[in-house]
Structure 1
Amino acid sequence: MEYVVIEFHLDGRSGVSPYMQLVQQVRRAVRLGMLTEGDRLPTVKEVVARLAINPNTVLKAYRELEHEGLAAAKPGVGTFITHRITDSSLAAHDALRGELRTWLDRATAAGLDAESVEALFVTTFREHTETRTEEPA
């Protein structure tokens, strides 16, 4: 069995269509360096079996990634990452990830469960983003 680099997850509460969630997860994994050129995405059959979704949903996501130039299908072989998303902040990711893990440890020690941690992060992130976009340039 070939090693699968990404494992997809769907959030029915997100308001984002399932195919777009798959696209976003691939983009994020490429941006973070978790997927690199030449990595094979799970087959449509593997994703359908894992997530119990319609094969057309996965095909639509993979076609979108191909349209963006991020992946390419090789008939009979699979779909492969063909491009890197360069992010000038990539060098800072390790340090920031360490700080975030420390914060997560503190949140857990304070008694927050996973859902509470996620809610706190998401709402704080949204508030921060909204505040930044409202500030005059």
Structure 2
Amino acid sequence: MIEFHVDRADGLPAYAQLVRQVREALRLGVLRPGDRLPAVRDVVVSCTVNANTVLKAYKELEHVGLVEARQGSGTFVTGSLGAVDPHDMARLRSGLARWVVEARRAGLEDEDVKALVTAVLAEEPAAADRAAAERVTDGRAAAERATGGAGWHGVRA
């Protein structure tokens, strides 16, 4: 079962932190369909938040189809996120843990690491777009060489 925590210093509202934690647990395979989320009153006590905060998080998760509230039984996971093989996830996590150790040795703090990861994630689509454009350009050049300069579609310009 997941154990929630709320970071008061985080700029994200408490309910959104709870939603994020469920989504992360689903992606990492910590939570699976059929698992029960903690009772609202337990989260209220452990995280010192208002019951409405927990209810709002659970309602949002229900709205997107990740959980289902069952009267008198609790809230259960019904959806999943990510389809990464657990062995691949473990391997990637291990590599990331080594990288974090290296980053700390270099003097990076948590906020530095988060900023760096966020920047790389933001650059990734742009890098993928550039790589795809390069492949198209390379393909056109190869086609022109193969057709004696007749062009990409085999028609002389």
TM-score range, shorter chain: 0.7 to 0.9
Counterparts of 1:60 and 1:91, CA distance in 2: 34
Does residue 119 in structure 1 map to residue 111 in structure 2? yes
Are 1:51 and 2:47 an aligned pair? Answer: yes
Q: Aligned partners of 2:113 and 2:86: how far apart in 1?
A: 21
TM-score (norm 2): 0.71
The amino acid across from 1:92 in the alignment is D
Distance 1:103 1:136 in 2: 22
RMSD: 2.3
Query: TM-score, structure 1 length as denominator?
Result: 0.80
Aligned counterparts of 1:111 and 1:69: Cα–Cα separation in 2 = 42
The alignment-based identity, stated in percent, is: 40
Structure 2 residue aligned with 1:131: 123
- Tell which deviates more after alignment, 66-75 or 87-96: 87-96
Match of 1:28 among 8, 24, 27: 24
Cα distance in 1 for residues equivalent to 2:125 and 2:5: 30
Structure 1 equivalent of residue 75 of structure 2? 79
Amino acid paired to 2:92: L
For structure 1, the residue ranges without an aligned partner over 5 or more in a row are: none
Larger Cα-atom Rg:
2
Residues 40 and 20 (structure 1), Cα distance of their counterparts in 2 relative to 1, 3 Å cut: same
Count of paired positions: 129
